[in-house]
Amino acid sequence: MNQTSRKIRVLVAKPGLDGHDRGAKVIARALRDAGMEVIYTGLRQTPEMIAAAALQEDVDAVGVSILSGAHNTLCPRIVSLLREEGLNDTLVVLGGIVPKEDIPKLKEQGVAEVFLPGTSTQDIADFIRNNVKPRD
Amino acid sequence: MPLTEQTDKSPQTRQSERKQSFQTVSLEEVDRLYDRSDVGDIDFDRDISTPGDFPYTRGIHATGYRGKLWTMRQFAGFGTPEETNERFKYLMKEGQTGLSVAYDLPALMGYDADSLLSEGEVGKCGVAVSSLADMEALFDGIPLEMVTVSQTINAPASVFLAMYLVVAEKQRADWKKISGTLQNDILKEYIAQKEWIYPIRSAMKLVIDTFEFCTEHVPRYNPISVSGYHIREAGATALQELAFTLRDGIEYVDWGMRAGLDLERFVPRISFFFNAHNDFFEEIAKYRAARRIWARTMRERFGSSDERTMKLRFHTQTAGVSLTVQQPLNNIVRVAIQALAGVLGGTQSLHTDAYDEALALPTDRAALIALRTQQIIAEETGVANTVDPLGGSYFVEALTNKMEQGALDYFERIDAMGGMVEAVEKGFPQREIQESAYQYQKSLERGDQTIVGVNKFEMKDELQEIPILVIDESVRHQQVERLERVRSERDGGAVSRTLDVLRLAAQRGENTMPATIDAVREYATLGEICSALRDVYGVYEEPAI
């Protein structure tokens, strides 16, 4: 990436009813410190609101934080709504409490990576940087 | 590595030490040695005293656990009310001495199981409850006059208190005899856990309604458990947990007094709830400081002379945030040590986390080991044989003092803002916690803090896969069916009438409890009652922080 290129833009999203936003906020700040532009949705966003925000903010990646066990319901819907908006290249990653058995299915449904507890913020930043679709 | 300037009081250099600096899990510096010079300011009678005496540093009971052990109260709830009822009975059969209900996210947010917003969340993080019918199933065969029940519910707490009281009524239990605890600590929701519904001042009014109602009608019930647990889980340091929790306690006392309640009647029923994190001595000092600060606050700030207002009673839960997905059986050891800190700190009741809780809600097997951990501490280790065995330790007393001083500094800053409600509106505690959470994460990633199995002693292949509890969408279907049955069998006219009365009570600023109880008796659902109150109060919008 050269000096003049556009900063990577990431939407950190917190869908569902859960209010535990420690992870989402730590990640948002860590990605900012890693040189990205981060937009945090705030709590209790529906998949529709998240897709609309991704479109409006023209982001390269959406980072979804879910700890409540609702990921199998919420994540596929977020991905399909993004695709419906024509955001075919937007990278979707998930962080939170996710049973290992659920991961293959989530990946099939378009989640690029699932980060479990204990992942370093550096690894997450690196993954996003290496996997977003380059733009001019 | 270059050595830094010696600040240590010992003449030895630090060359022989493993690290340049030693810090607690709250990133507080710890000295090599504590001795007489660290406790020079302490006046034994004034500051430490004896167990059962002001300022209760050493405990609120003269006999400690020799009189009565702490209550073993495991937080439980998942799936349908029937499934959780079964888990309650299992835990009671295995020697648990109190109940504690975990509700699911729709319940915590005041939505019914059939709300669109509840999709994917019903019965997942706790038991699903949408109406009195669910509550009746939840406590089926559990006599509320005999068992104390703690309910973890906040924004819609007044509705759950009403449901609990109506179930008791149906069991012909005497409200004057039943006991238990309602978490009902809405301030820490805005500060940390963020399961809110109404704007903060209306929500505070609802809390005060429960204080007033319980003082009159359910005198042995604790209408609030002022909670540091969630503040800590959100990333606060031990000191921030202590300071914000006790300052929240002060705020509730202030609001109660402003509403005309009699301090000596409602304050003795205010209970507290703290976290037990990894740093053993820091936690013990936190509990001891909490008792001393509360006693002094009640005497000096509120001018109370009634010792029942000064005795801080608290529940403890081991730190969920400290549990690791990696090598999950290690969590059994973490929980045991954290629980021991709670016991040495003099807790009145204790929840020990299950080793599988970084992955899911606990299985029967994991929940049983968690309970057995408490029983082993109580029955085998000997720590319950004498009161406050760490009292007088140079280190523990110095840390206790430091905690107290730090908390008083925070009190001053929050007082200067006009109080805790105002501080929360300004985002002050939220920002402090966020900053601590980030600093901790950075410290972890630098390797300054160690988590075994995560950033040290990692293993590529886990030794053992553990079975986990899976809750599927069938729970939602069952709950929606029951809700439909309730709606078709109840008297719809009576439901609308009671909800109108409730709206009116809220508009007029009257106590909302009697109208809430009437609505519950008619099987108005949780969602309907909360929606009636939303009509009057509106909803909370979090400011950007």
What is the complex's ipTM, to 2 decimals? Answer: 0.92
Do the chains contact at B233 and A17, CB–CB below 8 Å? no
Complete DSSP assignment for B154-190: -TTHHHHHHHHHHHHHHTT--TTT--EEE----HHII
Complete DSSP assignment for B357-369: TTTSSPPHHHHHH
Question: What is the residue extent of each domain of chain A?
Answer: 9-131
For B44-446, the fitting CATH number among 3.20.20.70, 3.40.50.1370, 3.20.20.240, 3.40.640.10 is 3.20.20.240
Strand partners, B102: B152
**pLDDT given at position A5:** 72
Complete DSSP assignment for B520-534: HHTT--HHHHHHHHH
Question: What is the residue extent of each domain of chain B?
Answer: 44-446
Q: How far is B234 from chain A (nearest CA, A)?
A: 5
Question: Looking at beta carbons, which residues of chain A come within 8 Å of B232?
Answer: none
Query: A104: which 2 tokens?
Result: 């293959």
Tokens 């499934």 correspond to: B83
Confidence check: pLDDT of B496 > 70:
yes
Instruction: Count CB neighbours of B439 within 10 A.
Output: 14
Do the chains contact at A70 and B120, CB–CB below 8 Å? yes
B79 touches chain A (CB under 8 A): no
Q: What is the pLDDT of residues B337-361, one digit of tens each?
A: 999 999 999 999 999 999 999 988 8
Contact indicator for B343, B317 with CB cutoff of 8 Å: no
Confidence check: pLDDT of B190 > 60:
yes
Average pLDDT for chain B: 95
pLDDT band with cut points at 50, 70 and 90 for residue B384:
very high
DSSP state of B96: -
Do the chains contact at B359 and A99, CB–CB below 8 Å? yes
Q: Which of A20, A21, A99 sits opposite B360 (nearest CB)?
A: A99
Average pLDDT for chain A: 93
What fold is seen in the domain A9-131? Rossmann fold (3.40.50)
Confidence check: pLDDT of B12 > 70:
no
Amino acid letter for position B270: I
Query: B50: which 2 tokens?
Result: 């004896």
Three-state SS annotation for B294-333 = HHHHHHHHCCCCCHHHHCCCEEEEECHHHCCCCCCCHHHH
**Which among B209, B291, B216 is positioned nearest to B256, based on CA atoms?**
B209
DSSP state of B261: -
Q: How far is A134 from chain B (nearest CA, A)?
A: 28
Q: Is B219 helix (H, G, I), strand (E, B) or coil?
A: coil
pTM for the structure as a whole = 0.94
Q: Is the peptide bond before B55 cis (omega within 30 degrees of 0)?
A: yes
Size of interface A-B (CB pairs under 8 A): 86
Mean pLDDT throughout B368-389?
97
**pLDDT given at position B90:** 92
Mean pLDDT throughout A48-54?
96
In chain A, the residue whose alpha carbon lies closest to the alpha carbon of B439 is A26
Q: How far is A136 from chain B (nearest CA, A)?
A: 31
Q: What is the pLDDT of residues B227-268, one digit of tens each?
A: 999 999 999 999 999 999 999 999 999 999 999 999 999 999
Angstrom distances, CA of residue B481 to CA of B130, B477, B496: 11, 6, 21
